[in-house]
Structure 1
Amino acid sequence: MSHLWSALGLTFVLQFDTTDRDRHYVMVVPQRAVYNPLLMGPNQVIEFHGIPLPELNKESAIHYHNKCISYLMDTSTDPANPCNDDALTAITILRYHEQVDTHLTGSDSETYINAIQAVFHAQQEDSIGLFSIVHHPPRTLRQEIWSVLLYRRPFRLPLYGTEDCSQFEPDAAADDFDWANRILVWCAYVLQFCFGTSSENIVESEDPKSRTEQWNALKAFEHNWDTHLPPHYKPLAYKEREPDLGQYFPRIWQANGCQVLALQHVELMRIILAVHSAKNQRLGIGAQAANLALEELLREATRKICGLALSNCRDQPAMVTAGVGVSLCGEYFRDEGEQRAIVDFMANLESQHAWPTSAVVDALRVAWASHPTS
């Protein structure tokens, strides 16, 4: 199976390790999978998504997918080995396949989101493995963040403990990965605040802070990030967009994909916080100007998200994150040239990274047709 792990490590699992300095999905998971059918199954499904491997075909993908479900069911009913790290690893990978399969299934059932919830609760009741604590939450948080933004639904993953987002120490001994993972946790709290939480299967911990205090803490993190950006997060190079030359997005080169993902998620939350703040400011003198300013903020944030992705276009998480941003704010682009650039970007995301975009593009075309272009 060496050919499988070679292809897997180089072309697929790298995306799971974007915020993991130790690259556990590349270095640890393949070794476990050699002896664990629960992990072998989801990894062999990758052929179905455009990675040709010897002796595997589309029927093989379905076969291994079904086998993995069977193993997961056995694990869930095994009192001696309940909901361990390997189960969460398998579910996380299968959740990715569930997302990219929407062009075949017609919808995202989010089946594996429910499975992830069950694993987190089981581990909370028992004992959470070190591998889960350090390496799974960032990836599962990312999947949940994307789903909340794409479907505008409540945040479903449980957040155990509390995080004071107002605390910000730019000079602390924190590297790219520390900051990226902290940003993902901040994103989770932003989405929980703005979209609420699902009551099903989730026991929410009491938060002593008032809504106002929570809001101020979330906004404080955004402000502190803007005013005290960690020095190592400054771009290696930056080039303004040049619409007259057909370059509609800025180019922002960062040191690594971890930085790109973190910066993109800051912009995504900037969008969510701005829209949430505007909900109570739609009437009165100056409301129209405020709405126009909000739309420009949404466009600027989206341009930056796409610019970060295009400057690192081989990085699948960066491209997908930009696709999420386009699904949120693409409607607000009025310039025909920018609209074409967005369509081209989404086409590239689907062709190069197998992420389904046609439904979003179709919806954008309908929305654009109802607005005058410039």
Structure 2
Amino acid sequence: MAATVILRQYEEMDEEMDENEIDTDYYDDRRVSFLAITQTIIDSMIESPLENSLASAAYWIVIRQEIYYAFSRESIPHMRFDANRWRNTSIANSIIMFAGEVATWCWGQKNPGEWTQLKLREQQLAHDCMGEIEPILELGADRAKGRIFPTVWYSFDVQVTAIQHFRLAQMILIAESPYLEKATRATHRKAEAQVRSIVLNLCGIALGHLRIQPALVNAVIAVTLYGEYFTDQEERNALLGIINRTKELHAWPMRKPYQTLKRRWEEVDNAEL
């Protein structure tokens, strides 16, 4: 199970690369898809859950992998799991599952009734969990000093994981609200400002916890999803810096996020008013 988790991550990284960057003598259409294997892990863990074990850890990493895959590809998560079987799970894992539910809604049918239920779930999680995910330091951005991102520090890695997934889910529910379609321009501006604030917050959290490898990746996801909401050049440069930092520190393929962001900025800049 642990080996499958590792191999699934390499598979994800391969898919991030362009075809001409892959050694076609080794990577061809006949290679194994570890997604099917990880789904088998999920199914078996639901049927016979093993608490406090390597198998349980592998299960939760698999869930995080598929949610990351959904966010980065802007697609429905390719997984089946029963959240009711894990009612006593940790706060972080509860929030991760919530993020998966939001991804399923966002890149699925986007039913307005489901959005309302997710917002209620968000409020319940905020009420139940936020008290245990308080930062030990939080300073606002200071443009005068060249600090585009806020400074946010947490005591534990698990808090960073939890809050980043919560903010990602929260950001999507704001940006993709079905009620924005017929809303006033002022309401749209308010929603866009909230989304920008969350993106900057996610980046600030990542920069404050560089030793936690997924933190920067989560920030890149936020930048890729809603980076087009930024029109200020200084802020845009700072967002590109997050992508470059992720590539430098973790050697993660960043060409596609970079190209996606640049393309969306060009579309915004060339749009007719």
TM-score band w.r.t. shorter chain: 0.7 to 0.9
User: For 1:234, what is the secondary structure of its paired residue?
Assistant: coil
Letter paired with 1:103: M
Is 1:240 the counterpart of 2:140? The answer is: yes
User: 1:291 maps to which residue?
Assistant: 188
Distance 1:217 1:125 in 2: 24
**Aligned match of 1:112 in 34, 38, 46?**
34
CA contact (8 A) 1:313 1:319 kept: yes
The 3 A distance-change label for structure 1 pair 155 and 128 is same
CA contact (8 A) 2:220 2:257 kept: no
Structure 1 stretches lacking a partner, 5+ long: 1-87, 166-173, 198-209
User: 2:181 maps to which residue?
Assistant: 282
Distance 2:115 2:239 in 1: 32
Per-residue CA deviation, residues 104-157 of structure 1 (Å, 9 max, x unaligned), is: 655999932232123434x26974555476322321111111111111212221
**Higher RCO, 1 vs 2 (CA within 8 Å, ≥6 residues apart):** 2
User: 2:2 maps to which residue?
Assistant: 89
Per-residue CA deviation, residues 191-217 of structure 1 (Å, 9 max, x unaligned), is: 2333349xxxxxxxxxxxx983x5444
Per-residue CA deviation, residues 308-338 of structure 1 (Å, 9 max, x unaligned), is: 0001112101111111111111111111001
Distance 1:363 1:142 in 2: 23
User: 2:67 maps to which residue?
Assistant: 145
Is 1:363 the counterpart of 2:260? The answer is: yes
User: 2:11 maps to which residue?
Assistant: 98
Is 1:184 the counterpart of 2:90? The answer is: no
Per-residue CA deviation, residues 82-125 of structure 1 (Å, 9 max, x unaligned), is: xxxxxx2211111112223333655999932232123434x269
Per-residue CA deviation, residues 263-288 of structure 1 (Å, 9 max, x unaligned), is: 111110012212332x34313xx532
Per-residue CA deviation, residues 156-177 of structure 1 (Å, 9 max, x unaligned), is: 2111253799xxxxxxxx9xx8
| Max Rg structure | 1
User: 2:206 maps to which residue?
Assistant: 309
CA contact (8 A) 2:91 2:129 kept: no
Distance 2:208 2:97 in 1: 25
CA contact (8 A) 1:100 1:354 kept: no
How many residue pairs get aligned? The number is: 259
Distance 2:79 2:54 in 1: 14
CA contact (8 A) 2:228 2:264 kept: yes
Distance 2:211 2:100 in 1: 26
Letter paired with 2:9: Y
- Deviating more after overlay: 155-164 vs 299-308: 155-164
Letter paired with 1:320: V
**Aligned match of 2:84 in 157, 162, 167?**
162
**Aligned match of 1:222 in 101, 122, 126?**
122
Residue 190 (structure 1) shift:
2.3
Structure 2 matches for 1:44-123, cutoff 5 A? 88-101=1-14, 102-103=16-17, 105=19, 111-121=33-43, 123=44
User: 1:268 maps to which residue?
Assistant: 168
Letter paired with 2:260: A
Distance 2:8 2:79 in 1: 14
The 3 A distance-change label for structure 1 pair 237 and 186 is same
Is 1:256 the counterpart of 2:156? The answer is: yes
CA contact (8 A) 2:12 2:69 kept: no
- For normalisation by structure 2, the TM-score amounts to 0.82
The 3 A distance-change label for structure 1 pair 259 and 320 is same
- For normalisation by structure 1, the TM-score amounts to 0.61
CA contact (8 A) 2:202 2:222 kept: yes
The 3 A distance-change label for structure 1 pair 252 and 365 is same
Distance 2:10 2:242 in 1: 21
The 3 A distance-change label for structure 1 pair 147 and 161 is closer
CA root-mean-square deviation: 3.1
Distance 2:47 2:198 in 1: 42
